[in-house]
Amino acid sequence: MAVTASKDYPAAGVQTWNPERYARWAGFVPEFGVAVLGLLAPRAGEKILDLGCGDGSLTERIIDSGASVVGVDASAEQVAAAKGRGVDARVVEGQSLDFRQEFDAVFSNAALHWMRPPDRVAAGVWRALKPGGRFVGELGGKGNIETITGALTEGLERRGIDAAALTPWYFPGVEEFTALLQGAGFRVPKMELFPRPTHIPGGIEDWLWTFCEGFLMAVPDGGRRAFIAELEDALAPELADGRGRWSVDYVRLRFHAVRD
Ligand code: BEZ
């Protein structure tokens, strides 16, 4: 997903999405999203927007409920993969939603933290919902992947590279995200922040290439291998167990909001 820079945030690093790489190293993302689908509780006949649908694997689950679903994602590659599953998927950035009172619900799993500025996203979701419609989702919350962002920042700054300028994410806390949604016109019956340390399928290098490409590519070719080795050494004491199995220090922010 290419990330849009705005006046209010530093310029972002560019992240690309390869559906095969994503399925191999990030298959746990839609698996954990099944719990968020429980909160959405889609019903037959409803019209639902899946915001940041990725390769459509969770979108398919919503379709299974009998709802009619549109998926949007900023990555043309992921949208092509979603279409391959038969999903009505479209290349649209979350900051540029152009729907008017079309949906009973908007759902989003592990995608909103890539979409900035968040107030434009919230305004577009509000417009897209019918009155009474719900916005249900989960994103990275305050403290998310802090061990990793700390190591990236230190390693890049040692090389004279400004890590903040490459950071594409938005990880709000409960109060901040509640205020943001209320500012867009939502009522917010549920907002919950919780740690979810997560075993990952490969090593930390696979995870970094899947999600932090913009940071790795900021280091010139000749120094990148040493940078990655240095990150592994810095992160292993916190994130790897004695048998070399890696976890990531995810923190989730899960919410249910309503357009009255
Ligand atoms: C996540 O919280 O899902 C996430 C955030 C940044 C990079 C990768 C994953």
The tens digit of pLDDT for each residue in 97-108 reads 999 999 999 999
Q: Which of 25, 115, 211 to mutate to test ligand 1, by most ligand atoms within 8 A of the CB atom?
A: 211
pLDDT confidence tier of residue 14, bands split at 50, 70 and 90:
confident
**How confident is the model over 123-144, as a mean pLDDT?**
98
Burial class of 100 by CB neighbour count within 10 A (0 to 12, 13 to 18, 19+): exposed
Which ligand 1 atom sits closest to the C-alpha of 210? 8
Residue reference for tokens 């919950």: 192
- Does residue 14 belong to any structural domain of this protein? no
Which CATH number does the domain housing residue 185 bear? Answer: 3.40.50.150
Residue 200 Cβ inside 6 Å of ligand 1? The answer reads: no
In a domain, 233, yes or no: yes
Any domain includes 2: no
pLDDT of residue 162: 95
Is the residue at 25 inside a domain?
A: yes
Structural domain harbouring 42:
19-259
**Residue 149 near ligand 1, beta carbon < 6 Å:** no
CB of 39 within 8 A of CB of 102?
A: no
What rounded mean pLDDT belongs to the chain? 94
211 lines ligand 1 (CB under 6 A): yes
Q: Output the residue whose Cα is nearest ligand 1's atom 8.
A: 211
What is the average per-residue pLDDT within 90-96?
Answer: 98
Say what the pLDDT of residue 1 is.
Answer: 39
Tell me what the mean pLDDT of segment 29-58 comes to. Answer: 97
> Is the pLDDT reported for residue 2 higher than 70?
no
- Please state the φ and ψ torsions of residue 73, each to the nearest 5 degrees: -155, 150
210 lines ligand 1 (CB under 6 A): no
**CB < 8 Å & 24+ apart, contacts of 75-78:** 75/1, 75/2, 75/16, 75/17, 77/16, 77/17, 77/18, 77/19, 78/1, 78/17, 78/19, 78/22, 78/53, 78/54
Which pLDDT band, with edges at 50, 70 and 90, does 12 fall under? very low
CA-nearest residue, atom 9 of ligand 1 = 211
Ligand 1 site, residue 114, Cβ cutoff 6 A? no
Residue 259 Cα, ligand 1 centroid: separation in angstroms? 27
Residue 64 is assigned to a structural domain of this protein? yes
Residue 10 lies in a domain: no
pLDDT digits (tens, 9 = 90+) for 154-192: 999 999 999 999 999 999 999 999 999 999 999 999 999
Q: Is 140 in the pocket of ligand 1 (CB under 6 A)?
A: yes
In this prediction, residue 7 carries a pLDDT of 33
What percentage of the chain has pLDDT greater than the value 90? 93
Mean pLDDT of 227-243: 97
In a domain? residue 124: yes
Instruction: Band the pLDDT of 13: cuts 50, 70, 90.
Output: low
Per-residue CA distances from 175 to 14, 185, 188, 228 (Å): 29, 15, 11, 35
11 in any annotated domain? no
Q: Is 54 helix (H, G, I), strand (E, B) or coil?
A: coil
At residue 242, the 3 state secondary structure works out as coil
How many domains does the structure of the chain reveal?
1
Which protein residue's CA is at the shortest distance from atom 3 of ligand 1? 110
140 Cα–ligand 1 center, Å: 6
Reply yes or no on whether the pLDDT at 5 is more than 80.
no
Q: Is 145 in the pocket of ligand 1 (CB under 6 A)?
A: yes
Query: In the predicted model, is pLDDT for residue 195 greater than 90?
Result: yes
The verdict on the CB of residue 186 being under 6 Å from ligand 1 is no
Given a cut of 90, is residue 114 above it in pLDDT? Answer: yes
> What's the rounded mean pLDDT across residues 37-51?
98
- Give CA 66 to chain center in angstroms: 25
